[in-house]
């Protein structure tokens, strides 16, 4: 199953038949930058979506769920600069007005428009600015506007996040392209992130939803920057059915799932690499656990530890902080005498104590790297799990202290 990965640059992105995009400047929060995106979806396409588990979910999340329950999506309207969260009933009415404006210009039903927002919480959505920009969005629709769309949905991101692949299903060509945004307020069960992924394969709605759930659990639900869960997290997967490939058998579903998993994982890793103020990318691998859940429990204890994250920022091999996080992760009947911990290939803890072969110079050498893998072998089972995170720097504090200024 050959495929090619294209990550950045408009010329290296595979357009998706049945998808057109547009970006424009509605001046929602910052003057002079694109901050509003429209994605047009062909009729008869299938869509699946997952959203934040935050109880204070934003108005657009609530409205998306309502619309998806009754209608097939034809347009996605995405704004940055304003989250439309913590805005109560007025926020819901504002999101509905924006959907109605798109419907008025396109002839679709308002329920076929899905709204998405990201930005500052608690401020009213500037509906007049958004609605005034809808004609320009419609006029600018193009199949080649993926890069412009990825740039327009950025908030504290420093770089757009795009992944595009050409692959084959039973010898038939297919394409998948996705964009995402996110840099802070990132934790499992999604993140302060938006992701929009499209493919030209034909797949049933039920299969599409299942495939998205599986991919999410191995990608966007395995990342954390700061342990904070957003109010607006959303991920949409669209299958236009306008390509030659059809997902009808188990082998075809497996091929498609593999490509979708890798696409989502690559986007998720881009979010972590662009974490607010991040200087290190850390893969936390937990091996030999009794269950997948307990492996994740240990991984997140390490990934969410401010002491661990600041040590990595300082390139300080203070491995005792990792050891402590494993200990307080909450595993029952943990035999610490069986635990081994590695920084890349360097064994720092062997059988629950400092490895005899370990030297500070070895640890220092690994810690200076941009990409670092922490491996913990629990010695109590055959389950594994991996979480991706980043360090915690001075700039993270500055960026979030100045977020509304």
Question: 286 and 389 in contact (C-beta within 8 Å)?
Answer: no
Cα separation, 215 vs 228, in Å, equals 21
- Choose the catalytic residue: 24, 192, 202, 375: 192
Cα separation, 265 vs 194, in Å, equals 14
The H or E element that residue 120 is part of is: strand 113-120
Cα separation, 249 vs 278, in Å, equals 42
Place of tokens 């347009």: 75
187 backbone dihedrals φ, ψ, rounded to 5°? -160, 170
Cα separation, 340 vs 350, in Å, equals 5
- Token pair, residue 343, equals 């920084």
Half-sphere exposure of 328 (CA within 13 A, CB side): 10
**Nearest Cα to Cα of residue 18 among 199, 257, 264:** 199
- Token pair, residue 402, equals 């100045």
Query: Helix (H, G, I), strand (E, B), or coil: what is residue 5?
Result: strand
Active site residue 192: yes
Cα separation, 88 vs 58, in Å, equals 9
Query: Helix (H, G, I), strand (E, B), or coil: what is residue 82?
Result: strand
Contacts of 345 (CB under 8 A, 6+ apart): none
Question: 340 and 349 in contact (C-beta within 8 Å)?
Answer: yes
Contacts of 123 (CB under 8 A, 6+ apart): 82, 83, 87
389 backbone dihedrals φ, ψ, rounded to 5°? -145, -175
- Which residues have a catalytic role annotated? 192
């Amino acid at each position: 199953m050959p495929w090619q990965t294209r990550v950045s640059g408009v010329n290296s992105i595979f357009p998706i038949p049945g998808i057109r995009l547009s970006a424009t400047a509605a001046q929602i929060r910052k003057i002079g930058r694109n901050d509003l995106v429209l994605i047009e979806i062909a009729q008869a396409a299938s869509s699946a979506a997952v959203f934040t588990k935050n109880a204070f979910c934003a108005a657009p999340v609530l409205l998306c769920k309502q619309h998806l329950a009754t209608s097939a999506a034809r347009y996605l309207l995405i704004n940055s600069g304003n989250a439309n969260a913590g805005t109560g009933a007025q926020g819901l009415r504002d999101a509905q007005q924006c959907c109605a404006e798109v419907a008025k210009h396109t002839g679709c039903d308002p329920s076929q428009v899905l709204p998405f927002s990201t930005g500052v919480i608690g401020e009213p959505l500037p509906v007049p600015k958004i609605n005034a920009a809808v004609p320009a969005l419609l006029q600018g629709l193009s199949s080649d506007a993926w890069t412009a769309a990825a740039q327009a949905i950025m908030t504290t991101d420093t770089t757009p996040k795009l992944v595009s692949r050409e692959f084959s299903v039973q010898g038939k060509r297919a394409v998948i392209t996705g964009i995402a945004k996110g840099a802070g307020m990132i934790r499992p069960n999604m993140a302060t992130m938006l992701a929009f992924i499209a493919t030209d394969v034909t797949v049933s709605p039920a299969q599409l939803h299942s495939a998205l759930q599986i991919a999410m659990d191995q990608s966007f639900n395995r990342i954390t920057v700061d342990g904070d869960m957003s109010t607006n997290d959303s991920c949409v997967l669209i299958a236009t059915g306008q390509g030659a490939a059809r997902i009808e058998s188990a082998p075809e579903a497996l091929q498609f799932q593999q490509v979708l998993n890798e696409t989502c994982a690559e986007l998720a890793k881009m979010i972590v690499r662009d974490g607010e103020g991040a200087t290190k990318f850390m893969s936390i691998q937990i091996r030999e656990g009794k269950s997948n859940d307990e492996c994740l429990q240990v991984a997140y204890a390490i990934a969410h530890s401010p002491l661990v994250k600041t040590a990595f920022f300082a390139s300080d091999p203070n491995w005792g902080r990792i050891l402590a996080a494993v200990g307080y992760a909450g595993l029952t009947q943990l035999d610490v005498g069986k635990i081994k911990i590695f920084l890349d290939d360097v064994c720092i803890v062997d059988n629950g104590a400092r490895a005899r072969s370990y030297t500070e110079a070895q640890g220092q050498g690994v810690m200076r790297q941009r990409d670092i893998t922490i491996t913990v072998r629990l010695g109590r089972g055959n389950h594994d799990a991996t979480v991706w995170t980043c360090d915690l720097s001075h700039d993270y504090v500055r960026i979030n202290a100045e977020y509304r200024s």
